[in-house]
Amino acid sequence: MQVLHILNKEFRDYFVSPIAYIVISIFLLVTGWFFFATFFLLNTAGMRSFFDLLPMIFAFIVPAVTMRLFSEELHIGSYELLLTMPVTFRDVIVGKFLAGVAFIAAMLVPTLAYPITVSFMGDLDWGPVIGGYVGSLLLGAAFAGIGIFASSVTRNQIVAFIIGLTICFALSLIDSMLFLIPEGLVGAFGYLGARFHFQNIAKGVIDTRDVLYFLSVMFVGLYGTFMVLKEKK
């Protein structure tokens, strides 16, 4: 129950401040621009170029969404009020995390206009599109886990954003940097790359290995947050 109340409060909070609208506008502008800039050149009725870019864009956007979740509370001190109410760390972390994920989902809803538009122009294969959206949610959840961890380590939202951005960015870029890594480790590092797993799902193939990857990243982030909060006691 507590989780739901916290989720509800945090989710509404997003829309009270202008940040939500700014983040959503930037996200839609950037994705819309990049998607339609190449769409007619590629001359295929698909969402590929949209989903190709998504890990990069999420690496910027998701930490901006999650940066306030703990930092703000630590900064104004309401964290003390929150934790002295009958709630557990789990309630707080999960509630805030779900609020972040719900916001990311809300942010993705307007982009449904793209596949709908495309489906009028050509024969759109809905499989990869659905896979792409499932993957986007998983990717968003994984990055939100990291972002929430970044937010719990500092009371400064900008610092939280930069920490989150750095980790998410590294995860999205790692598979294009593989040539720098000794040959024996390429497999392992390749597996760490978020883009690699995301693109598997975005092809329309929902493989448990990829799902497990995103869930693990998310869990590591949330568990890290739990450890940080516990340490603060």
Which residues contact other proteins (rule: CB under 8 A)? Answer: 1-2, 5-6, 8-9, 13, 16-17, 76-78, 80-81, 83-88, 233
* CB-nearer residue toward other proteins: 82 or 215: 82
CB 85 to other proteins: min, Å: 5
Helix residue ranges per DSSP H, 1-88:
2-16, 18-42, 48-66, 68-76, 78-83
Residue 69 or 108 having the CB closest to other proteins: 69
**C-beta closer to other proteins: residue 29 or 85:** 85
Nearer to other proteins, 183 or 231 (CB): 231
Residue 14 contacts residue 99 (beta carbons within 8 Å): yes
CB of 62 to other proteins, least distance (A): 21
Chain centre to alpha carbon of residue 66? 9
Q: Which of 168, 166, 175 is nearest to 196 (CA)?
A: 175
Minimum distance between the CB of residue 218 and other proteins, rounded to whole angstroms? Answer: 25
Cβ distance to other proteins smaller for residue 88 or 216: 88
Burial class (CB in 10 A: 0-12, 13-18, 19+), 38: middle
CB of 159 to other proteins, least distance (A): 20
Min separation Cβ 120 and other proteins, Å: 41
User: Which residue, 175, 219, 169, is CA-closest to 193?
Assistant: 175
Minimum CB separation from other proteins for residue 156, in Å?
Answer: 17
8 Å CB contact between 218 and 142: yes
Of 209 and 233, nearer to other proteins (C-beta) is 233
Are 60 and 90 in contact by the 8 Å Cβ rule? The answer is no
181: left (phi over 0), alpha (psi -120 to 50) or beta: beta
